[in-house]
Amino acid sequence: QNNMAIYSITWYLYWPYGVFTKMDIPGPKPLPYFGTMMEYKKGFTNFDTECFQKYGRIWGIYDGRQPVLCTMDKSMIKTVLIKECYNIFTNRRLFDAVSVAEDDTWRRIRSVLSPSFTSGRLKEVELSLHLSLSMFYQLVINTTLSTKISSIFFVAVYLPPQTDAGILITLNELYKAIRKQENAHPEAALQVAGDVTCATRIFSQEEIDTVFPNKSLRLYPIMLRLERVAKKTVEINGIVIPKDCVVLVPTWALHRDLEIWSDPEEFKPERFSKENKESIDPYTYMPFGAGPRNCIGMRFALIMIKLAIVEILQSLTFSVCDETEVRRSPEQTSVSFRRTLPYTNLPYPRVHTLPYHRVPYPRVPYPTLP
């Protein structure tokens, strides 16, 4: 009986870990019960990148006893996220939010929410969004510039100690890229009475609108991984994926693939210019996912990030200081990009100007900076 009990326990601990061996798919060696989850101590992005470099475009890992097939193969990504989305790869793991709800529940929630995120509806609320950002900014900036933002009780809910710093890092790199372009083509900036012409401003604005969100989202995607669960056994490109197996797309690693992106760590806005954007494969750049289950708030997020940047840069000038430190690699163990250290710089108030929406709002004097 003791031998039978030992055999049963051993079988229970090791039984799930033969899935990828049978499929002849490489991957890190799992531990009983934990699978390969101990590797997450390195951070999701580091683990995914290491596996891609070691095993190629397809590999297998285990989240506990759950087999997870990781793929960076473009044709498989297209099949999973689009072609077989409704029939096989409809669902994700975990809870009942719209992003992870299953089957008819997801369809019902999505159909109710989708009309609120159309381009027409978002244009209707754009002004109110900008005014809300303006008032929020004024409340924060007038509290005191010498106080840490996180110490303001209600702001701490939205800006926890592990603050999302991707936008600040990207702003710094965007500024350097623009300066580089100006130095390379000084004739492009036509100046009249010490100011650039209206035509130049409009062109620059269109160029920034085109390349900035895409470029920043390639370097710092909100979701580092996309995943779907197979509702039944299916064969894709000669690989038999069993029922209930999770198929995972490591977005961070995909956006830094040397075969797809030259100098992947470099901030090059021209990658997403009108001339180059058409050549980008949609299954190699997916900051909001792809297919029917892409992010429902994609348009809303893009509008909000542009409005936030406008409000910040319209009112403040940022400069680096001795404590400023920018690191590209996130130190995180969550599925979104967060930094464990604050991004330190010096904000200085600008001269007050009328906001771009042309609706004035009350302002009070800024606190005096040391």
CATH number at residue 49: 3.30.43.20
Q: 212 or 58: which carries more pLDDT confidence?
A: 58
pLDDT category at 99 given cuts 50, 70, 90 is low
Which domain covers residue 8, as residue numbers?
2-103+225-254
**Residue whose C-alpha is closest to residue 291's, from 58, 110, 123, 122:** 110
CA distance 292 to 185: 42
CA distance 64 to 78: 27
pLDDT category at 265 given cuts 50, 70, 90 is confident
Structural domains of the chain, count: 1
Q: Judge whether 96 lies within some domain.
A: yes
Question: Beta-carbon neighbour count of residue 347 at 10 Å?
Answer: 14
Q: How many separate helices (H) and strands (E) can be counted in the chain?
A: 12, 10
Q: Which residues are annotated as a binding site for heme?
A: 295
Q: What is the pLDDT of residue 280?
A: 84
> What residues contact residue 151 under an 8 Å CB cut-off, 6+ apart?
none
- For 15-33, what is the mean pLDDT? 90
Q: 269 or 326: which carries more pLDDT confidence?
A: 269
CA distance 204 to 200: 6
Q: How far is CA 192 from CA 26, 167, 196, 265, 302, in A?
A: 63, 32, 6, 37, 33
Q: How far is CA 278 from CA 42, 46, 58, 132, 210, in A?
A: 35, 30, 26, 35, 12
Write the DSSP string, 307-330: HHHHHHHHHEEEE--TT----SS-
Q: Which two tokens stand for residue 22?
A: 């049978």
The string of pLDDT tens digits covering residues 55-88 is 999 999 999 889 999 999 999 999 999 999 889 9
Query: Residue 173: which H helix or E strand, with range?
Result: helix 166-184
The string of pLDDT tens digits covering residues 324-343 is 665 555 544 444 444 444 45
Q: Judge whether 11 lies within some domain.
A: yes
Q: Judge whether 109 lies within some domain.
A: no
Q: Judge whether 346 lies within some domain.
A: no
Q: What is the pLDDT of residue 154?
A: 42
Q: Judge whether 331 lies within some domain.
A: no
| Partner residues linked to 70 by β-bridges | 59, 248
Instruction: Report which DSSP code applies to 275.
Output: H
Q: Judge whether 335 lies within some domain.
A: no
The string of pLDDT tens digits covering residues 217-263 is 777 777 788 999 999 999 999 999 999 999 999 999 998 898 888 88
In the predicted structure, residue 360 carries a pLDDT above the cut 60: no
Q: Judge whether 206 lies within some domain.
A: no
CA distance 342 to 183: 32
Q: Which residues are annotated as a binding site?
A: 295
Q: Judge whether 78 lies within some domain.
A: yes
> What residues contact residue 333 under an 8 Å CB cut-off, 6+ apart?
40, 41, 43, 44
CA distance 364 to 34: 56
